[in-house]
Chain A
Amino acid sequence: MKHHIVSVKTYLAIFLVLMVLTALTVYVAYIDFGHGLLNDLIAMTIAVVKAMCVLVIFMHLKYSAKLLWLIAGSSVVWLIVMVGLTLTDYRSREWMESQLHRAIEWQANPPAEQPAHPGLH
């Protein structure tokens, strides 16, 4: 019946970590890592770590039943499904279009030698 009570000290420590990470994320945003993707990756990693701090300590997930972990995890999985499958569309549009143009071109001017299949490569 007794529930784990997180100590005030732990809360303060997590708060300090969150503050440091906030400063860090602002700081690194101004550094040019040469590739924009790297900046995003670092920013998102920091955000995920911060979110985990809040989830695990402030929201007591650490001391909660496995069911709550499952619920929290399932929302992340579903987000990934939603974003992932939508991006399947957006990330393949250019590629599909170029394939289409190749096929049209091939049809208009068939190559003189034995034709290779114009399908996807």
Chain B
Amino acid sequence: MSDSKPSYLAHHFDHLEQQKQSATLGIWLFLITEVMFFGGLFLGYIVYRGLYPEAWHTGSEKLNVILGAINTVVLIFSSLTMALAVHGAQTGSRKKTANFLLATIILGSIFLGIKAIEYHAKFFPTTDYNLIPGANFSYPAAYADQMQLFFSFYFTMTGMHAIHMVIGIGILIWLYVKALQGTYHENYYNPVEVTGLYWHFVDIVWIFLFPLLYLIGRH
């Protein structure tokens, strides 16, 4: 343990490169667990959609495609700002890092806000049917029960995605505070990069959720 080690190099690593590579490898391994986590939901989706195509198409039509599309744009935009925050850290621009982190936080919150509007519309329906799965579910169709399955998956999948967003925003806020203090610079930005990878992954999940939930059966 020589004194020449910088404070941001943990004691058990030999050099910064080893620390950085470990962090990147770790987050990628974590992301494959996330792929499998959402994979279980996608599997359920595929099985049931194969069994009950009409119910799923009708269910999909009941979602608000405009809000869904806006959210897709917002989330991809937030991925861009996240990438730029990492870029800022890589090039040693502390101000840029902080500002783009803030932008990502704001965009992520807008996404959640729009999601909340969508949920709200489902929970307090203005129509004469109710699409919240459970005892009160009602829809005038022979396959109403199977539509309940669709909405169970809709809420579980988007809910799980939203939880990931909330966690991501929490980490981003912490990073933002640290970034304002100037913690991250061209020699040390692992936390920003690792969070970035997580954030992009959450974006990818939505890239698949959007067509699978909102766009089937529109034709």
Contact = CB atoms under 8 A, between A and B. Distances in A.
> Do the two chains belong together in a single complex?
yes
Main secondary structure of the interface of B (DSSP, over half): helix
Interface string A75-94: 11011001100110011000
| Chain B interface category by residue count | 35 or more
A11 B215 contact: no
B188 interface: no
Interface residues of A, number: 49
Nearest to A3: B90
B80 interface: yes
The DSSP consensus for interface residues of chain A is helix
B218 A47 contact: no
Interface string B29-64: 101100110011011001100110100000000000
A99 interface: no
Given A1-B17, A19-B73, A43 B215 contact: yes
A78 B39 CA distance: 9
B107 interface: no
Contacts of A18: 76
Given A22-B72, A90-B50, A46 B80 contact: no
6 contacts: A15-B76, A54-B79, A59-B197, A68-B25, A79-B39, A83-B43
